Amino acid sequence: MDLLLVEDKDSFRRLLTQALEGSAWSVRAVADPQEALRALEAAPAHVLVTDLRLPGMSGLELIRRARQLQPGLRVVLMSAFGEPRDIVAAMRLGADDFLPKPFDLDAFLALLDRLRALVGAPPPDPAEPWIAHGAPMQALESALGRAAATALPVLFRGERGAGKSRCARRLHALRHPVAPFLSLAAGTLGPEGPDPRTLQLLQGGSLYLADLAHLSREALGPLVRALDGPLGTGLCWMAGVDAEVALPPDLAQRLGSLELKVPPLRERREDLLVLARLFLARAARREGRPEPWLERAAERQLLDYAWPGNLRELEVLAGRTVLFSEGPVIRAFPDLGLDGAPLRLPWPAPGTLEVMLKAVARSAEGELLRKALREAGGELPPAAEGLGLTVRSLAQRLREHGIPLEDGDPDSVPRKAP
């Protein structure tokens, strides 16, 4: 992710830049605020970190102009001279946090980690496709419209891969589309529960907890306290769980007041071919290929299949088909329903043997992660156990490969790793 650092003191600018070397951040560091604005015009950034006192322009004015150029920009203001009125002004301009100098580098890095979580899950696009041609999805759409008129927590029940996270994003877009939205795999919450500083950044927005059944026992109490606390009441809570899972009473009382059923793909015949074409088109754009089209035999094959993996299975099939197809016409899906399909990888870009081997190894790792997640029904804990990883380590690797942590849906198409 891209970070723009604006600090006129050379030594401190170098210190912060060095602290971020080898991290997930790609840093552009400048001393002049005008240069910072030109940098934003040339290429957007995810986060702006700026000093308050700068030559020729205050940090507050820089924040104002930067957010005019990029309204969704996350901002951190730092200063050794910050007065309360400056901090209030910065927050009104859209700053996410204030760091008084001197500050501990660990606190700086922890703040950027929290911002990275929010940047990685921005407010959903209100215009993202919502496929609801059949009766089951039209009924769900009506229920979402009624839920949007309330601030009640919503629990989405459905099979693995049915699109519960997509429904959560749809509800968020109906309620408050420009507010922050964050999706967390419940199994990644530790005994400390949700980070209060993350909840603070989410005020007025929504937090979606995916795979709630995998919440650890140690995290249950802290989560309940977070739901009841002042920060918890300042945002909208949503969660996803399998259809047959019974929640602990404490959670059921707080998150189960409004339950919505997400239909499985086999009950969405009117939507299936539309979804298939959407996935195929996105996969083709991702691979730089012309948009494919389906012959009647391929359409019948999709309609006749039971789809035990739901939308996630359809998405993976579409991506694999586009990657290995030799032309724009898809006549059949030979891999459909075949668990023992061979591991197939794209050829790496030309380069030295060492570089190409690294690219192949990364592609193989991504496919192995997808296979493990698929065989575990999308559940992180059993997938992590099978791979010999912790849940958090697996979640981090999935993020690095652009593999969605929550149940698959039309918006969760994995992006190519850089």
Q: What is the per-residue pLDDT for 152?
A: 94
What pLDDT, on a 0 to 100 scale, did the predictor assign at position 386? Answer: 87
The residue ranking higher by pLDDT, 376 or 198, is 198
pLDDT computed for residue 84 by the predictor: 79
Q: What is the CA radius of gyration of the chain?
A: 23
The contacts of residue 393 (CB under 8 Å, 6+ apart) are 384
Confidence band of 415 (pLDDT split at 50, 70, 90)? very low
Q: Of the candidates 373, 382, 376, which has an alpha carbon nearest to the alpha carbon of residue 405?
A: 373
318: confidence class by pLDDT, cuts 50, 70, 90: very high
Q: Which of 28-42, 74-88, 172-186, 265-279 is predicted with the least confidence, judged by mean pLDDT? A: 74-88
pLDDT score at 343 = 65
- Which one, of 26, 35, 29, 33, lies nearest residue 10 by Cα? 29
Predicted TM-score (pTM) of this structure: 0.63
* Per-residue pLDDT at 307: 92
d(CA 327, CA 293): 10
Tokens in use for 268?
A: 């969405």
Residues 36/4, Cβ–Cβ less than 8 Å: yes
More confident residue, 391 or 127: 391
pLDDT tens figures, 1-49: 899 999 999 999 999 999 999 888 999 999 999 999 999 999 989 999 9
pLDDT at 411: 37
Q: Are 327 and 293 in contact (CB under 8 A)?
A: no
Reply yes or no on whether the pLDDT at 340 is more than 60: no
Least confident window among 53-67, 161-175, 242-256, 367-381: 367-381
Output the pLDDT for position 82: 67
Residue 307: count of CB within 10 angstroms of its CB: 22
Question: Measuring CA to CA, which residue among 47, 206, 188 is closest to residue 111?
Answer: 47
Q: Which residue has the higher pLDDT, 191 or 402?
A: 191
Mean per-residue pLDDT for 332-341?
67
pLDDT for residue 405: 59
Mean pLDDT computed over every residue of the chain: 87
Q: 36 is written with which tokens?
A: 């910072």
Give the mean pLDDT of 140-146. 95
Q: Which amino acid is at 258?
A: L
Residue with the bigger pLDDT between 144 and 178: it is: 144
pLDDT of the residue at 414: 33
pLDDT band at residue 252 using 50, 70 and 90 as cut-offs:
very high
Instruction: Tell me the average pLDDT across 223-234.
Output: 95
Q: What is the pLDDT of residue 122?
A: 55
Question: Which tens digits make up the pLDDT trace of 67-100?
Answer: 999 887 889 999 887 677 888 888 888 888 888 8
Residue 416 pLDDT grade (very low, low, confident, very high; cuts 50, 70, 90):
very low
Write down the pLDDT at residue 125. 60
Contact 408, 378 (CB under 8 A): yes
Q: Between 338 and 114, whose confidence is greater?
A: 114
- What number is the average pLDDT over the span 210-237? 94
Note if the bond before 102 is cis, omega within 30 degrees: yes
Quick one: pLDDT at residue 113? 81
Please state the rounded mean pLDDT for residues 278-306: 90
Residue 413 has pLDDT above 60, yes or no: no
Mean predicted confidence (pLDDT) in 212-237: 94
pLDDT of residue 80: 85
Nearest Cα neighbor of 407 from 318, 345, 301, 316 is 316
Apex 225 CA angle, 220 and 230, nearest 5 = 150
* Residue position matching structure tokens 């400390």: 192
Task: Please tell me the predicted confidence (pLDDT) of residue 409.
Answer: 38
